Amino acid sequence: MNAPTRLEVHTAETLSPAGRPERAEAEAAVCTLLRWAGDDPEREGLVDTPARVVRAFEEFFRGYEQDPEAILRRTFEETDGYDEMVVLKDIPFESHCEHHMAPIIGKAHVGYLPERRVVGISKLARVVEAYAKRLQIQEKMTAQIAKAIADVLQPRGVAVVVEASHQCMTTRGVHKAGVTMVTSRMLGAFRDDAMTRREFLAVIGNPASAGG
């Protein structure tokens, strides 16, 4: 029997520290790609590029080092009975598609109906960031954000709408600039109550195709 590949062994979203390549290996891989593209990684303009790319990857994919549920666990119960919708809209994010590693640039809108607990609004933005800074598809990212908020806060409902432009569509393939993809995930009251869902969509500006 052939030994399993790294992808077969690694079924979680992140590699263990023992399975993660060393920085020198990552830089060598960039050198290989530069040579494959037809250039010389030893020339002056490219000699430091492998190290720069690896540092950029650390920034692009720092979400793998973050636990979104841990971010949400510090909640507050002293709300004087506040039980209306909490919405944070127009949260900017930058991600990368898992199919071509091309940028995904967009914004997210997040809302929830508190049961007993609320969370600091910066934590909602940090949860979006934690999932965005990974290799993603927009549909999965939308669902992940909603699930994390629902699992930790246990609210009466969660709504997430994501609007984004995908560079894998604008800079390659069909080359269609100016196209925005909209995805949504509605849970609890936002899914079951059309009036609640409409209120949320009105607050965020009612992006086309959201609310299903």
| Whole-number pLDDT of residue 1 | 42
13, 98, 115, 139: the active-site residue: 98
Contact 133, 101 (CB under 8 A): no
**Would residue 97 show up in a list of annotated catalytic residues for this protein?**
yes
**Would residue 69 show up in a list of annotated catalytic residues for this protein?**
no
**Would residue 100 show up in a list of annotated catalytic residues for this protein?**
yes
Q: What is the 3-state secondary structure (H, E, C) of the chain?
A: CCCCCHHHHCCCCCCCHHHCCCHHHHHHHHHHHHHHHCCCCCCCCCCCHHHHHHHHHHHHCHHHHCCHHHHHCCEECCCCCCCCCEEEEEEEEEEEECCCCCEEEEEEEEEEECCCCEECHHHHHHHHHHHHCCEECHHHHHHHHHHHHHHHHCCCEEEEEEEEEEHHHHCCCCCCCCCCEEEEEEEEHHHHCHHHHHHHHHHHCCCCCCCC
| Whole-number pLDDT of residue 9 | 37
**Would residue 168 show up in a list of annotated catalytic residues for this protein?**
yes
31, 66, 94, 100: the active-site residue: 100
27, 96, 97, 109: the active-site residue: 97
**Would residue 99 show up in a list of annotated catalytic residues for this protein?**
yes
* CA nearest to 202, candidates 83, 82, 81, 85: 85
| Whole-number pLDDT of residue 153 | 94
Q: What is the pLDDT along the chain (212 residues), one digit of tens a residue?
A: 444 444 333 334 555 566 889 999 999 999 999 999 999 999 999 999 999 999 999 999 999 999 999 999 988 877 777 889 999 999 999 999 999 999 999 999 999 999 988 999 999 999 999 999 999 999 999 999 999 999 999 999 999 999 999 988 888 888 888 889 999 999 999 999 999 999 999 999 977 545 44
**Would residue 13 show up in a list of annotated catalytic residues for this protein?**
no
| Whole-number pLDDT of residue 80 | 78
